[in-house]
Every structure is written in C-alpha cells, then in structure tokens.
Amino acid sequence: MYRKKLKSLAGIALFMLSALIFTGSAKVNAAGMQEKNIEKAIPGNGKHFVQYNGHIYFRIPSEDAMKLSAIWGDYEDIEEDSTGSIVAMDTDTLETEILFEDMSRGPIVISGDRMILSTNQTSGNDNVYSVAFDGSDSKDLPGTYIYGTQPSGKYFVTGGFGSKDHKLHFYICDEDGDYKEAVSSDRLYDYAGLGESQLFCVTKEDEDSGSLSGFDLVTGEETVYGKLPEVLEKQTASCVVRRIGEENGYVYLRLSAYKGSTNIYAGSKYVRAKCCEADSLEEVTPSGTASNNERFASPVMVKNGELLYVDGTPNTASLDAEGYVGFYDEDGIFTKVASGYETASDDETDTRMAAGVIEAVDGYIYVIQNKECHVPKDDINLRYAYKRLETWFIRIDEKNGESETIYQMYKDLQKFITECNNVIRIK
C-alpha cells in the first residue's frame, strides 16, 4: 500500500548502520551543489536521489520486496530477485508520480537525457541499460555494474567480470550512447575512480601492491603513473584505491588496507599524480589531525594544492552521534540541521527505526528511513537480519531543518510481526 505526499514527521529516531560520524559547527553552506570546475553538473547524479529538470528521481521497493529480509537491514544486498519502481517528485509541488517498474538496484545515473540503471538477479543475468524517463526504449549497455559517473553524466563507467574469460572489464560510456573498452587483460585489478579526463584503475602483474593507470575518456590511451606503495608491512592483500579529487592538474587518491575475512580496517596512505604524465606518482601526507576512528579512514579533502584532514567529505550529508541530521560544508565541517533522529526502539511492537540512506542534493537532505523488526530465523551467525514494516522517504531543508515526507510505504503491523517470527528480539 502506498501513501503520497505526507506531512512532516517530528521526533522520529534514526540511526546509521555504518560509520561513526563527526560533529561540528559552521556557517550554513548548501551541500550537494554543483561540483567546482565541472559544467552542467546534475545534483545527486550517481546517488539514490537525483535532481533533473525540476524533479527528484528515486526508487521505491515493491510490496513483495518489502517482505524480504536483509542482513543489517541493508536492503540493496537482498539476494532474491525483487522489483521496484522509479518515482519522480516535482521539486515545487512535491507531487510524486510512479514512472515505471523494473528490477534495478543501486544508484541512478542520468546521462544524455536518459536514465542509466543496473540489475542484480539471482539468475546471474545482471546487466546495465539505458532507458527513457517513462521506462520505454530500453537499450542494453556493456557490463553488469555501474562503477561511477561524472556529475554532468557526460561520461560514466560500467564493467564487471566476464562470464567467459573471468577477467575484469571496464567500459567508458558517454552521453551519446557510445562506449569503448578501456582495457582488457589480466593486469586489470580494480576501479579507482572517474576523473575529469581519465578513468583511473589499479593494474597488477603479480602479487605486488599494483600500479595506478589512467585511461583517456576520449581515446582510451593509457597513462602508467607508477607503482603504488604498500600500506602495511608484509601486506598480503591489495588495498582499496579511490580517487579523492583533482586540483591544479593533479589527481589525489587514498589507499586503504583491510585485514582478515571480515575486512577490518588496518590503515591508509595517500598518493597524487600529475594528470596524463607517466611515472609521476608520489606519496603525500595530509595536514592537520586525523580522527581517532579506528574503523574507517579519516576523511580528507584537497584544497589549494594541499591534502587536509577534515570532519567529513565535503558536500555530503550524514547523521552524527547525537542524533542530528546535517551536512558537511565545502570545508568538510559538519553543520547540524535537524535534531531528534537518534536511535530508538519500540518495546511494545519490537520494532526499530533505521536510516539506510542520507544524501545531500541541492540544498536538501534526503533520507530513506525504515521501521523494521529483527528476523532471527534469517540471521547468519551474529549478523542479524531485518524486515521492513514501513519505509519513509523524507526531505529536510538545510536552511531551516523543516522536514517533509514525500513518500511512504507500509504494511499491516500485526501481519508483519507474524511474518517476522513468533518470538521477535530487537538487536
């Protein structure tokens, strides 16, 4: 059952399933705005909420999908096939319209006045496709996953492991619907980010830490920047390498190491390279004070040619430890926007409130919040499974903290509790 355009929710508790969030105070600067030096940026492009031509586009689950459980309430990782719908909300009236139903998951990319979506099916028939805004004229694209997009959508990257050669492939796609394969070889190891003029990848010849390469978005020509440093002594696994940003002709990247089967964070290093200049890779050290967080890499940003430790990634939104929803401004300082979103459980119904998505888009913070219950029979060891009872899609104004529920889905409470288990325990 669906309910459209509901009024604001007050005092609803939220919690984050992931990282420890940092707090602070600063003047209000709208987050999620157009990225510097990139023309025609589409706010939120490549996220769950994308603003385009006066509308916010987002995805809602189907009623059947609401019946499925997920470990830690991470509903994008549901293994069963599930359908959903793409919804458009008018940014002026907040009226919503269901555009079409499909089986896509994850972020929404807009490129060339079309949506780029991907599916993840148990049959293994994963694919990426381009579709018109009404769901018509679907066109398949190469790859099984969308790795990233430029804010403008001019270029985006798809890829995945080939079912026949079992090699990792990356494809540079453009707004005209054309694409080229960046490289296809045993050297290709991991995606590192999409920049202003290149696709950055980690390549490996053997069991070393790998090298950084960039592939020109127009020609596909490769620039080999150099060997990546090891983050740990006696490193036995490669690091996760991700682009931080570009400034003054340099690209900056983070290398994060993880240990064990549970991927416990073990440390980071940082490098930079002169764009399109071979063998220019060098290690750099951020200025300032790193966080005391031992579970995740400290946030950093590039400013005036310097890598700086900050409270959080600029122009993103999050939830702090005190229950405030807010955003990180252009200097990476957290601005509190709305209070009352701390973790809370309802002992009478054995349910809890949980926020799975918090994103900043063009002066607003969008939240996907779920009321859910624990499903013991679906637990995997100490990893707890949850099912959704209600899902809210909320918009919060960064300037005044006012909230508006733009969409809501719900189920019958008693029926839901029965479906979960005869005896429910909240974790």
Domain with 211 in it: 186-283
- This prediction has a pTM of 0.85
Which of the listed residues 184, 215, 238 is the one where a domain comes to its end?
Answer: 184
Q: Note the pLDDT tens digit of each residue in 160-171.
A: 887 778 788 999
Q: Same domain, yes or no, for 59 and 22?
A: no
Model confidence at 122, in pLDDT bands (50, 70, 90)? low
| CA–CA dist 224, 251 (Å, integer) | 13
Report residue 27: phi and psi, to 5°.
-65, 155
Q: Per the structure, how many domains does the chain have?
A: 3
Q: Same domain, yes or no, for 171 and 192?
A: no
In a domain, 296, yes or no: no
pLDDT of residue 397: 97
Which of the listed residues 260, 283, 306 is the one where a domain comes to its end?
Answer: 283
Which of the listed residues 184, 211, 234 is the one where a domain comes to its end?
Answer: 184
Q: Same domain, yes or no, for 197 and 177?
A: no
Q: Note the pLDDT tens digit of each residue in 46-89.
A: 999 999 999 999 999 988 889 899 998 888 877 677 789 999 99
Q: Same domain, yes or no, for 394 and 427?
A: yes
In a domain, 300, yes or no: no
In a domain, 258, yes or no: yes
In a domain, 364, yes or no: yes
Q: Same domain, yes or no, for 143 and 207?
A: no
Q: Note the pLDDT tens digit of each residue in 314-338.
A: 999 999 988 899 999 999 999 999 9
Q: Same domain, yes or no, for 147 and 65?
A: yes
Q: Note the pLDDT tens digit of each residue in 369-390.
A: 999 888 989 999 888 899 999 9
Q: Same domain, yes or no, for 72 and 178?
A: yes
Q: Same domain, yes or no, for 170 and 201?
A: no
* Listed range (216-230, 244-258, 261-275, 323-337) with the worst mean pLDDT: 261-275
In a domain, 256, yes or no: yes
Size of the chain, expressed as the number of residues it contains: 427
Q: Same domain, yes or no, for 135 and 260?
A: no
Q: Same domain, yes or no, for 204 and 270?
A: yes
pLDDT > 70: percent of the chain: 83
In a domain, 199, yes or no: yes
In a domain, 294, yes or no: no
For the chain, what is the mean pLDDT?
Answer: 84
Model confidence at 11, in pLDDT bands (50, 70, 90)? very low
| CA–CA dist 256, 248 (Å, integer) | 24
Could you count the other beta carbons within 10 Å of the beta carbon of residue 256?
A: 17
| CA–CA dist 84, 379 (Å, integer) | 24
Q: Same domain, yes or no, for 191 and 113?
A: no
In a domain, 310, yes or no: no
